[in-house]
A and B are shown apart, each in its own frame.
Chain A
Amino acid sequence: MRLQSKLTLFSAISKIVVVLLLIALLPPLIHRVAIVNTDKRLNEKKDSVLEIISNQGIENFIAEGSEGAYGSYNLLKEEFISIEQIPEPIAVDTVENSLRKVENEIVEYRVLSLTFEVDNKYYLLEIGRSIDTIQESINTMQQYALYFLAAVILITVFIDLAFNKILLQPLIVIVRRLKKIGHPSTFTHKTINTTTSDFLYLNNAINDMMGQIQDAFQKEKEFIGNVSHELLTPISILQTRMENLLTDPEMPEHLLVKLVDNQKTLHRLKNIIQALLLISRIENEQYLKNEEVSLTVLANEVAEEIADRAEAKEIKLHVNLEDNWTLPQANYSLLFTMLFNVVSNAIKYNKPNGSITISGAPKGKGYELCVSDTGVGIAQENLPHIFNRFKRLQGPDNESHGLGLPIVQTVARFHKIKITVDSTIDVGTTFCFRFNGHN
């Protein structure tokens, strides 16, 4: 997941958590606020009533000498005020919820009760406000609070998104550049336009490192060129000198045999250097992939080239490729070398009257080309090492220099081909090349 998506997701989730928390806490909070407000209002009313009484006398409410009480409700029974005379002086000053019967209807009120004394008479004042009314205002308040919250969250999420995008733009540019690099040589040094020091540092670090890698590749390229020239030139001289000696009529026959041995040793040295150079050159991308290669043509040409060897060892060679799979961008001679080496091994390590099958078929989204032999097989514990350079699984008497399979692997990597090897001792070995992509 990209950093920008992660940041946006995280900020959205954190906001949702805050909202949920608020939704859970909001009702009791608003309820509390509403009650406190109501109590405040009741107290204000109490003060007004007491002021009226002290200014105008209690007679305004209760006539002198009467045992009666005063009571007033508004039409919807939302509020009431009552004053009644009480015989005993009980000190009461409370605000609490209580049920009252008003015109045959039980209504719950928030009631303020207060006793006071006027002319040695005691009165109880009660001011009430219906709980339903309070609840209504609570609901209204809750609704508006929720709208407000939703709006705030939406706005902040969008601001976060936009800000993240602007902030992370340099990172996106860097990632895009890195994605485009197929090989270090295709990288170009670029500055990045940002004030964020971390991104500047990252970009500079990448530029520096890629620069170093490019230098290393360049040096390796020069080294390869030098090695080719400096090592192969003396070998050339030796080779031509030996060939001239071979044709010298004065050369005694017993020395001729020694000369042939020298020629073989020199040939081996030449082969090792050329194999190493080939591997290095491929890894250094000094080969082009600009040919269209048909796997059917490739397999058949390898088979034709090697048919005589198979025949010499009385090994049957079958080629059976389904469909004509074509690689759009490849290097034919490298692929030829790759397949030739594998088939050549299949002959070398086969048994008399054995067989080799080069088969191919579309598999999944790609194509699989397999070379199966009925040879001596490779021990399971040796399988992971067969592509190691100079690893010789056969005895030391063999002329092999152990670079055939490393070449195969390097060519495969160069073409992004996946190799799998399956082998059973005394039954045979199967090399499979997996080509991805479309036909």
Chain B
Amino acid sequence: MHVLVVEDEAGLAAELMHFLKQEHYKCDWACNGEDASERIAVNRYDFILLDLGLPDYDGLDLLQEARETDYEPAVIILTARGELEDRVKGLGLGADDYLAKPFSLLELQARMQAVSRRKFNVKSSVHEFHGFELDSTARTVSYNGQNISLTKKEFDLLHYMLLHKNRIMTRLQLTEHIWGNILEDDYDSNYIDVHIKNLRKKLSAHAPTDWIETVRGVGYRLTL
């Protein structure tokens, strides 16, 4: 997958690139609109991560340019502006998703996976692990064809952890994924422990769940 990161903040761009390369994406960086415009015209990107607040260019114009290419890249808008008008316009102009800065890299990856499945018509949405099956379209989890009943949050949590298997995830990252769209007074990451406890209980009724690993003082990791 070929990704163009359009971001004027060098620090952020560097971290994004570091992360994406680790995840085996091929990355280019454009630090301004002109550079981005040129790269979009010359190369064929699968993904464009677009910061709307560029110094020399209206980010929405870039979005338009990307739309008009013959290879039609998936565009995810990243912005700290968060202004309502831009948000509405951005989605109306055909961006595939929207992430408000600051965002979690894990969240970005999850969104990119979701967008690419939609965009590139990936039919299979079933994850298999240690005999369990998770169907992210039907939102079901089963073991040997036996359905396991999970709550909405438990399902989201398991799905998110599967997307980021073999990686340490902090309670905060998990909390942010599950509750992040709601701005509230404080977060209580202990809820995550309760969810994990319930998940372990429900899954271990069928098979051992030692692959859900607790990293002390940090968080959790799925080892698959």
Contact = CB atoms under 8 A, between A and B. Distances in A.
Interface of A: 225, 228-229, 232-241, 243-244, 246-247, 256-257, 260, 263-264, 267-268, 270-271, 274-275, 277-278, 281, 286-288, 304-305, 307-309, 312, 336-337, 340-341, 344-345, 348, 398-405, 407
A237 B172 contact: no
B170 A237 contact: no
B185 A240 contact: no
B109 to A, nearest CB: 10
* Residue of B19, B82, B195 ringed by the most chain A CB atoms within 10 A: B82
Contacts of B57: none
Given A308-B154, A308-B191, A348-B188, A229 B53 contact: yes
A337 B82 CA distance: 17
A404 B103 CA distance: 21
B183 A407 contact: yes
A260 B169 CA distance: 10
Nearest to A288: B84
A308 B101 contact: no
Given A260-B218, A399-B188, A237 B9 contact: yes
A243 B109 CA distance: 12
B103 A236 contact: yes
Interface string B109-141: 000000000000000000000000000000000
Contacts of B176: 267
B8 to A, nearest CB: 9
Interface in B156-199: 167-168, 170-173, 176, 182-188, 191, 194-195
A239 B188 contact: no
Interface in B9-23: 9, 11-12, 15-16, 18-19, 22
Interface of B: 9, 11-12, 15-16, 18-19, 22, 53, 80-84, 101-106, 151-154, 167-168, 170-173, 176, 182-188, 191, 194-195, 215, 217-219
8 contacts: A233-B12, A236-B103, A237-B15, A243-B104, A243-B105, A260-B171, A287-B84, A401-B185
B144 to A, nearest CB: 27
Given A228-B80, A271-B183, A337-B183, A233 B9 contact: yes
B151 A307 contact: yes
A377 to B, nearest CB: 18
- Among all A-B residue pairs, the 5 with the closest Cβ atoms: A404-B185, A240-B15, A236-B102, A312-B194, A232-B80
B102 A270 contact: yes
A308 B11 CA distance: 38
**Main secondary structure on A side of the interface with B:** helix
A237 B184 contact: no
A229 B11 CA distance: 14
Contacts of A234: 11
A267 B101 CA distance: 12
Contact of A340 (B182, B215, B218): B182
Contacts of B152: 304, 308
B122 to A, nearest CB: 25
A227 to B, nearest CB: 10
Contacts of A246: 168, 170, 218
Given A278-B183, A336-B182, 19 more contacts: A225-B81, A236-B80, A236-B102, A239-B104, A240-B12, A240-B19, A243-B105, A247-B19, A247-B22, A257-B217, A260-B218, A267-B176, A270-B102, A275-B183, A286-B84, A305-B182, A308-B191, A308-B195, A398-B186
Contact of A229 (B18, B81, B217): B81
Nearest to A336: B182
A278 B182 CA distance: 11
Contacts of B53: 229
A244 B19 contact: yes
A263 B172 contact: yes
A247 B176 CA distance: 17
A199 B104 CA distance: 58
Nearest to B157: A308
Given A233-B12, A237-B15, A278-B183, A264 B172 contact: yes
Given A229-B81, A244-B18, A277-B82, A237 B12 contact: yes
Given A240-B19, A244-B15, A304-B152, A345 B185 contact: yes
